[in-house]
Chains A and B, each alone.
Chain A
Amino acid sequence: MQAQDVVLRLDRITKRFGALTANDGISLALHRGEVVALLGENGAGKTTLMNILFGHYVADEGGVEVMGAALPPGNPRAALAAGVGMVHQHFTLADNLTVLENIRLGTEGLWSRGTARATGRAKVDRLARDFGLAVDADARVGSLTVGERQRVEILKALYREARILILDEPTAVLTPQEAEALFATLRLAIARGLSVLFISHKLHEVMAIADRCVVLRHGRVVGEVATRDTSGAELAALMVGGDIALPEARPATVGPVLLRLAGVSTPDQGAAPGLKAVSLDLRAGQITGLAGVSGNGQAALADLICGLAVPQSGGLELAGAAPVRWTPRAAIAAGIARIPEDRHKTGTIADFTLTENAVLEGYWRPGFSRRGLIDWRAAQRFAEGIIARYDVRCPGPGARIRLLSGGNMQKLILGRVLEPGPQIILANQPVRGLDVGAIAYVQSQLIAARDGGAAVLLISEDLDEIMGLADVVHVMSEGRLSPGFARGTKTAAELGLWMAGEGFADAA
């Protein structure tokens, strides 16, 4: 490719946060009509790099060039004007406005003429047609599915004449079918001369869509390879700096039902659906996988099992008996290990130490406190045990947990809930945002717990993860639960149809 084809050039970007060097002399070039995947473990510096590129951070050294012109640092507006469009993982749309209003937001002058709206509309329609982004311009964003919202985000970037699209983990919230549609759109975009920078953890997607991969580790570029010259295994090894064996799940002996939901319904929580007559058995020695697109009732099910919610109708039984008062404390006392979806917001307290976080849900147990007095020495020994046995990389038990990476935070949570030897384990998105090494570790711990006779409920939006680990798979859609499918009896595409809401008895 010719040098003048370079649309985006990052030149030796260095960014330090105190002692940590998040980006260390990263150089990267994106050519016209090319898809480059940016790969790396969590904490490898991808997000920092994107924030510098988009002007949210100012680099300590190095510069950004778009179309051959230097981009002024720290100015998102300049990045937008230069034709850089960013689609964040968490959408930045106003729910109460229509698609068209969202797209035009911020582009209108203070006194826009009536005709501007009509031209804007025509432009949106044309873009939607050209790029295969079918969406109703007059629909309120609040009523759209996640996949549709993502299309609106992309349209928004295209509307502002973006020539470079940056997509941050775009498929994390999509069904396999929606992801395919997204890839089709990206192919249309590069055919029209746009360039795409694609950030992902999912190697097979990277292999499917990207021309080139740039792999980051510890803030440095450790590899740059053409996709056709590499393999998923090679990329994974580059990312973690060694070979990683993902755990292989073997079937285990299935025991009795430890937790049973019989026709449980819970009220909707705003836009998030509640449970609709859900019946589910969790058996000892079995990993039950729960697949589904984000926001289809998984949170309601997790809240119920965590003790944060009670059934509105229907019943919950633990080992054959209905609990009298269902609270988080009751769930903990009943031996349910709960790995929450959001380890930052609900799993840990950022400003508390590792020791304090280790006993956050067990401080009242006789081993840790007597007559209202906490035995901090016992708590610290407990934390030190977790740090040693679960390989938590940290300065020590007295360090604040906010200093830990996501993977190490998750290991501490894992140790906290698994140490008491739980019978039932709820793992809600246990590996989301973790690096490959930590993923393998967390998954092997879940498998070990299952082999030890625990009933595991694994909730994940990553279908590959579910299909790899679960002995039985259920799919959730709009609060409804599909029947259980034994391992290997359904393909990803078939499960994808269930995820899209087809196959349910009351489906329209």
Chain B
Amino acid sequence: MSRPEAVRLRAPLERVSPRARLMWTCTDLLRCVPPMALLLLGDGPWDWFDLPTWSLVGVGVLFAAYGVLVPQWRYLVHRWEVTETAVYTQTGWWARERRIAPMSRVQTVDHREGAISRLFGLATVRVTTASSAGALSIEGLDRDRALVIVDELTRMADSVPGDAT
């Protein structure tokens, strides 16, 4: 296939809040707690199975690495940008996903704060379009910053007439 002229998308300009790393570490580690507890309890007090200690330690190290390293990786990937005509986000770590929605197709703009993100003063901005495959969300924004972005997005999306389909 002939090499097309080199058009390349650049990454969105803005990073999320640095505190997002800590929040992701918390949520990722919390996610590791139930399986780890099951392994430890099953091996020890409940006596379901008999695993060698080194394998338990290995799993623990893997989980810890997941909780510590993946948030850092994710922080490097997660970026966002809002312009007059479009919203552009980049998320993920292993699988990187870039999503672009024209401002004229934006239907709703949500501001969300989960229990853990509130501890860190962070919030998520979620932008939906008429396609269920097209929602964009920016996780780990500073709460005040998120509120400003929501206002701005709502104003810009409202200024375009039509039913956004």
Q: Do A and B come from one complex?
A: no
